Amino acid sequence: MMAGLEAGAEDVRVEEETFDVITAPEDLPAVRQAVDQASLTYTLAEVTMLPKNTVELQGKEAQQMMRLMEMLEDHDDIQNVYANFDIPESVMAALT
């Protein structure tokens, strides 16, 4: 955590079994090098889009959004899908 922050990372988020290191795109190489030098392993280091605001979806809207996301991800011409929705875990459990 400290290796990333000292190299210029903006934030480190602690998940259940992982850390998400948030940095500006131009700082990614320096942060990645600092993590490598600290002999830490990572599964993914990429520039991605993160929403600043999220929209909570419930019921039918959540179901429609999940269907749309699945269709987009399955389409051969689409490489990445980004979204700003938030579906509570209880609703997600009911959808699956």
pLDDT per residue as tens digits for the range 29-67: 988 888 888 888 888 888 888 899 999 999 999 999 999
- Residue 48 covered by a domain: no
- The whole domain housing 29 covers 2-37
- What pLDDT, on a 0 to 100 scale, did the predictor assign at position 74? 93
pLDDT of residue 55: 96
Q: How many whole angstroms separate alpha carbon 10 and alpha carbon 31? A: 10
Report yes or no on 21 lying in a domain.
yes
Average predicted confidence (pLDDT) for the chain: 88
Predicted confidence at residue 68, as pLDDT, reads 95
Whether residue 72 is contained in a domain is answered as: yes
DSSP class of residue 86?
E
Residue 13 lies in a domain: yes
Distance CA 50, CA 22 (A): 10
My answer on whether 59 and 91 are in the same domain is yes
Residue 22 in tokens = 């948030």
Number of domains in the chain: 2
pLDDT in tens, 65-81: 999 999 999 999 999 89
Residues 7 and 33 in one domain: yes
